[in-house]
Every structure is written in structure tokens, then in C-alpha cells.
Amino acid sequence: MRSFWLFLALFGFWLLLSGQFESPFLIGSGMVASAVTVLICQRLDLISPQFQPLSSFLRFLLYLPWLLLQIVRASFDVIILAWSPRPNISPRLVEVRTHLTHPLALTLLANSITLTPGTVTVDIDDKSLLVHALGEKSARGVLDGSMEKRISPMIPQRWDGDDEREEEVSR
């Protein structure tokens, strides 16, 4: 049943982004792409019992405008730095500790940080991300944890994939 709801959420998102409501071929292509994505998720065992596709989808839709706002704000900060006659650039590497455990949540966090101007995710560990920040303000923005707080409810954090891998290695 979760796969069906995931399919509906993916197909609805595809319709929303594509705006294709009249061409049967394109609608069919969107359905096929959504179905293939669900099959791949099933095959890779990415659909956990805690996963709520519709709830996660709605939270993701609320996350996107917030992320866009963060990108715009950071863009202005970088523009001010670039146009300043004496730019106060103090590049630094910052280790961001995270409570996120699911690989998808970590990937979303890393990509969100990289999308935000002035910051780039350099490395991901199990419990931390290494981020290059252009200045102190960018570093503080990454360290405040606001992205993590918004990503955490979207994706269930208990992930059994690690346990299965450990069992396979020990055999």
C-alpha cells in the first residue's frame, strides 16, 4: 500500500512540475517514470514501514519554498561580499554534526547546503558533514541546524539498511 501512495505522490509531483495535462503520451510517460521509480525503491529496500509518502511529500512541498528563501538570502550575502571594495571573506571548513541517519536525509541535507550560495558540502560521514563556508555568516547559517530540523520529519530516521549490510559482511 505504501508503494501505491508513493506512486501517487511521485506522479502528482511530476504533473505539478511538468504542467502536462492534455497529452496522453506525456501523462503516460510520467506514470511509467513514477512506476519505475517505485519499483527501484522497492528493489533497493528504500521504502521502510515508518515511511509515510503523502505526509513526507507535503512536508517536502513546504520545505521547497523555505529552501528557496534561504537560497535568495544567501545569494544577497554573496553579492554583497563580491561587490564590496574590501570583501570580508574568511573561508573555513566547518564540521556539521547531525542526528540524521537515513542516507536519503543526509543526501538531502548535503544537497540543500550545497545549493545555498556561499556553502559547499565537501564530505559526508555517518554523523557529520564537512562544509566549506565562504565566511562566518555562511558558517553560522549551516551550524544553526534549521535545515536538519526541517528535513528530519520528512524522512524516517531509523534505517535498517546498515544492519543488513553488517550481517552480510559478518557471514
C-alpha cell at 1: 500500500
CA contacts within 13 A on the Cβ side of 86: 0
Q: What is the pLDDT of residues 53-72, one digit of tens each?
A: 677 778 888 999 999 999 99
Residue with cell 528535513: 151
- Cα 171 to Cα 169: distance, rounded to the nearest angstrom: 6
Asked whether 18 and 30 are in contact (CB, 8 A), the reply is: yes
**The amino acid at 88:** N
Global pTM reads 0.70
- Cα 25 to Cα 37: distance, rounded to the nearest angstrom: 18
Q: What is the pLDDT of residues 14-39, one digit of tens each?
A: 998 888 888 899 999 999 999 999 99
Can you give the pLDDT at residue 171? Answer: 31
C-alpha cell at 32: 511509467
Angle subtended at Cα 116 by Cα 58 and Cα 74, rounded to the nearest 5 degrees? 110
Listed by start position, the domains of the chain span 1-47, 56-157
DSSP secondary structure string for all residues of the chain: -HHHHHHHHHHHHHHHHH---S-HHHHHHHHHHHHHHHHHHHHTT---TT--HHHHHHHHHHHHHHHHHHHHHHHHHHHHHHH-SS-----EEEEEE----SHHHHHHHHHHHHHSTTEEEEEE-SSEEEEEESSHHHHHHHHT-HHHHHHTTTS-S--THHHHHHHHHH-
Q: What is the pLDDT of residues 113-123, one digit of tens each?
A: 999 999 999 99
- Report residue 166's pLDDT band, with 50, 70 and 90 as the boundaries: very low
